A = this chain, B = another copy of it.
Amino acid sequence: MKFTINRSKFTKSLTDVLRAISSRTTIPVLTGVKMTIDQSGLMLSGSDSDISIEIFIPVSDEDNQLEVIKEGGIVLPARIFNEIVRKLSDEKLTIEVGDNFQTSITSAHAAFNINSIDVDNYPNFPVIDSNEVITLPTTLFKQVIQHTVIATSTQESRPILTGVNITIENGQLKAVATDSHRLSQRIIPITVPESLKDKSYKVIIPGKSLTELSKIIEDQDTIEMMVTQNQVLFKAENLYFYSRLLEGYYPDTNRLIPANSATELTINANDLLQATDRASLLSHEGKNNVIKLSISDNHVELSGNSPEIGTVEEELEYIEAKGDSLVISFNPDYLKDALRTFGHQNVIIGFTAPIRPFTVIPADDNTEISQSFIQLITPVRTY
């Protein structure tokens, strides 16, 4: 195997593939990055068994300055290989596999000679041979990911909750995540080909996989999704992103979302985020990470305290408050995560009772928009 390539272009693709590679794997060959090259181009592959990423660098794109001198393949130790490529000085990079799986990496006057692994030792990637291709709008799907992964669980005690539950049916994609303290749900319309109109798909994709995917996909118009029994493949131009699916039954979350509310507060999400951030300064210092929101006639106030440090109170500016007076306590970090997903939009916060979950939705006259996105937070009982 021998080729020359533009170093910047190569570095960019290598960085993306590295997202799938972990140094803490039980399978040593997976600490490496696999490279295979033929006359059409160079394929970089990386995997940690859960996520596998393949990126193709085509000869046909002249920006890559990819010149294939000899076809072949090799596995290089990923971390050090990445450091080497980054620290070279020339824009042109030559990689050549010599005897005994020794790979030379040369650029300007620097010549590295790195112990590598036979490409035949690298495990095969799952074969996803499906003609059921679901096309997703990239920008909207990235939003879905950002809006829901915040509510996935990070604890392995209930593995199913570390995933996002995605259901595709009737021309829409619904994504739900919950760690049992809070929940995020986002619905987007998608275009399904005639042949799949009557089909439905239910998959639970690990939150970590979706986070990595959202970092790696460029803002191209669409991304293709293909599902098998236990794998999902997201395919974009020159990118193949595989993730393992979580197996098991996802809890029924529909019943968790209250149908109506006794108190409604309309407020700017960013203003409330800043005030919650200030109130959490003191709650973070204490044992109970809890702040209090009080809504009464013409007065909405957020407060927090830490017995050692002191107290904070802040009267909030809001757009509208209606319904019953209410005092409710909750973990400020859950509210902060939820509010961040709304940016500078106005939101409606709906409360049923001080001990019942409350919801945050976009304040929009269009009910299709306001009902397509919901964040739900369980309060904390403080008596």
Q: Chain A interface (Cβ within 8 Å of chain B)?
A: 77, 80, 83-84, 87-89, 102, 109-115, 274-275, 277-278, 281-282, 285, 308-317
Contact = CB atoms under 8 A, between A and B. Distances in A.
B274 A89 contact: yes
Contacts of A80: 281-282, 285, 309
B115 A310 contact: yes
A115 B278 CA distance: 17
14 contacts: A77-B309, A80-B285, A84-B278, A84-B281, A88-B278, A89-B274, A102-B310, A110-B275, A112-B278, A112-B311, A113-B311, A113-B312, A114-B309, A115-B308
Contacts of A84: 278, 281
A111 B311 CA distance: 8
Task: Give the dominant DSSP class at A's interface.
Answer: mixed
A110 B291 CA distance: 14
Contact of A278 (B77, B87, B102, B315): B87
A77 B285 CA distance: 12
Contacts of A285: 80
A364 B275 CA distance: 59
Q: Closest 6 interchain pairs by CB?
A: A114-B310, A110-B314, A109-B315, A112-B312, A113-B311, A113-B310
Given A80-B281, A102-B310, A112-B310, 4 more contacts: A77-B309, A87-B274, A87-B277, A110-B314
Contacts of A311: 112-113
A316 B109 contact: yes
Contact of A281 (B83, B89, B312): B83
Q: How many copies of this chain does the complex contain?
A: 2
A310 B316 CA distance: 62
A317 B274 contact: no
A10 B281 CA distance: 19
A298 to B, nearest CB: 14
A352 to B, nearest CB: 27
Contacts of A110: 275, 278, 312-314
Contacts of A310: 102, 112-115
A80 to B, nearest CB: 6
Contacts of A83: 281
Interface centre among A102, A277, A312 (most CB of B within 10 A): A312
A295 to B, nearest CB: 15
A364 to B, nearest CB: 26
A183 to B, nearest CB: 28
Contacts of A312: 110-113
Contacts of A89: 274
Contacts of A317: 109
Nearest to A303: B111
Contacts of A309: 77, 80, 114-115
A276 B310 CA distance: 53
Interface centre among A83, A87, A112, A281 (most CB of B within 10 A): A112
Contacts of A111: 312-314
Contacts of A274: 87, 89
Contacts of A115: 308-310
A281 B317 CA distance: 55
Nearest to A277: B87
